[in-house]
Amino acid sequence: MLICDEQTVSVKDACRDFSEVIKLAEQSSSVVLLENGSPRYKVIDLEKNPVFELTEEEKIDVVAKRVLKRYKKAFEVLAE
């Protein structure tokens, strides 16, 4: 995922001033919220992006995260 510096805000700053995040999303159509320097959340303006799609890589990441969460104990047992 490509992220421009103007479109990123830390989660801490977003909690402090969410109205600023909304303004940024209105200007650029989306804002990425960073947690510990990594992309964590995305705020989008639904009027400018009524339908948004994930890239194939992002889809794989979502599915992998779900599988790992669901079968965490099994993976831990297999790791022993």
* CATH number 3.40.1620.10 is the correct assignment for the domain at 5-79: yes
The CA-atom distances, in angstroms, between 40 and each of 9, 34, 54, 71, 76 are 10, 5, 14, 22, 25
Q: What is the pTM of this model?
A: 0.56
Which of 3-7, 12-16, 48-52 shows the lowest per-residue confidence on average (mean pLDDT)?
A: 3-7
Q: State how far the Cα of 49 lies from the Cα of 31, in Å rounded to an integer.
A: 12
pLDDT at 46: 76
What is the residue extent of each domain of the chain?
A: 5-79
Cβ contact 20:6 at 8 Å:
no
